[in-house]
A and B are shown apart, each in its own frame.
Chain A
Amino acid sequence: MNIVVLVKQVPDSGAERTLSADNTVERASANNVINEMDEYAIEEALKIKEAHGGEVTVLTMGPAGATESIRKALSMGPDKAVHVSDDALHGSCAVATSKVLAEALKTLNADLIIAGAESTDGRVQVMPHMLAERLGVAALTGARKLTVDGSQLTVERQTDEGYEVVTAATPAVVSVWDTINEPRYPSFKGIMAAKKKPVQALTLADLGISADEVGAAGATSAVLEFAPRPPRSAGTKVTDEGDGGAQLVAYLATEKFV
Chain B
Amino acid sequence: MAEVLVVVENGVKKVTLEMLTIARGLGDVSAVVFGEADTAKLGEYGAAKVYVASGDDVDGYLVAPKAAVLADLVREKQPAAVLLASTQEGKEIAGRLAVKLDNGLLTDAVEVAADGTATQAVFAGSGIVKSKVTKGLPIVTIRPNSVTPVAAAATPAVEQLTVAVSDADKLTKVVERVVEQKGSRPELTEAGIVVSGGRGVGNADNFKLVEELADLLGGAVGASRAAVDSGFYPHQFQVGQTGKTVSPQLYVALGISGAIQHRAGMQTSKTIVAVNKDPEAPIFELADYGVVGDLFKIVPQAADEIRKRK
A interface list, Cβ under 8 A from B: 13-14, 16-19, 23, 36-37, 93-95, 98, 120-121, 123-130, 132-134, 136-142, 144, 158-169, 172, 177-179, 219-229, 232, 234-240, 243-249, 251-253, 255, 257-258
Q: Nearest chain B CB to A134's CB is how many angstroms away? A: 6
| Residue among B173, B290, B299 making CB contact with A238, cutoff 8 Å | B290
Contact at A161–B235, with CB atoms within 8 Å? no
Chain A residues with CB under 8 A of B290: 234-238
**B276-310 CB contact bits vs A (8 Å, 1 = yes)?**
00010000111111111110011111111110010
Question: Are B172 and A17 in contact (CB-based, < 8 A)?
Answer: no
Contacting pair A229 B128 (CB below 8 A)? yes
Given the known A-B contacts A160-B188, A232-B285, A236-B288, are A255 and B63 also in contact in the complex, defined by CB atoms under 8 Å? no
Task: List the 5 closest pairs (A to B, CB-CB), nearest first.
Answer: A245-B301, A240-B293, A126-B95, A220-B104, A162-B180
Cross-interface CB contact of B105 among A23, A121, A141, A221, cutoff 8 Å: A221
Size bracket, chain B contacts: 35 or more
Chain B: residues with CB nearer than 8 A to chain A? 62-64, 67, 87-88, 91-92, 94-96, 98-100, 102-108, 117, 121-136, 168, 171-182, 187-189, 193, 217, 235-236, 241-242, 249-250, 260-261, 264, 267-268, 271-273, 275, 279, 284-294, 297-306, 309
B133 partner residues in chain A, CB cutoff 8 A: 220-221
Partner of A165, one of B176, B264, B299: B176
> A172–B171 contact, CB under 8 A?
yes
Once the chains bind, are B309 and A249 in contact (CB under 8 Å)? yes
- Could you say which residues of chain A place their CB within 8 Å of the CB of B182? 161-162
> When the two chains form their complex, are residues A162 and B287 in contact, meaning their CB atoms are under 8 A apart?
no
Q: Is the CB of B105 within 8 A of A95?
A: yes
Closest residue of A by beta carbon distance from B135: A220
A36 nearest in chain B by CB position? B242
Evaluate contact between A240 and B291: CB separation under 8 angstroms. Answer: yes
Q: How far is the CB of B31 from chain A (nearest CB, A)?
A: 20
Q: Is the CB of B92 within 8 A of A129?
A: yes
Shortest Cβ distance from A126 into B: residue: B95
The reply to whether A129 and B287 form a contact with Cβ atoms under 8 Å apart is no
If the complex has contacts A232-B285, A248-B275, are A238 and B98 also in contact, measured as CB distance less than 8 A? Answer: no
A95 with B92, Cβ < 8 A, contacts A164-B177, A239-B279 known: no
A12 to B274, CA, bound (A): 26
Tell me which of A138, A163, A240 contacts B171 (CB under 8 A): A138
**Assembly CA distance A255 to B273 (angstroms):** 11
Chain A residues near B177: list those with CB within 8 A.
159, 161-162, 164
| Chain B positions within 8 Å of A246 at CB level | 301-302, 305
Q: Report the separation of the CA atoms of residues A120 and B125 in the bound assembly, to the nearest whole angstrom.
A: 12
Q: Nearest B residue to A123 by beta-carbon distance?
A: B108
Q: Give every chain B residue within 8 A of A130 (Cβ-Cβ).
A: 95-96, 98-99
For the complex, what is the distance from the CA of A173 to the CA of B210, rounded to whole Å? 38
Contact A126/B260 with A13-B241, A139-B64 known, Cβ cut-off 8 Å? no
Q: List 17 A-B contacts (CB under 8 A).
A: A13-B261, A14-B261, A121-B123, A138-B171, A140-B62, A140-B172, A141-B92, A166-B175, A168-B172, A172-B171, A221-B132, A235-B290, A239-B292, A243-B301, A246-B305, A248-B273, A252-B273
A95-B104, A160-B188 known; A219-B288 Cβ under 8 A:
no
Taking CB as reference atom, which chain A residue is nearest B303? A245
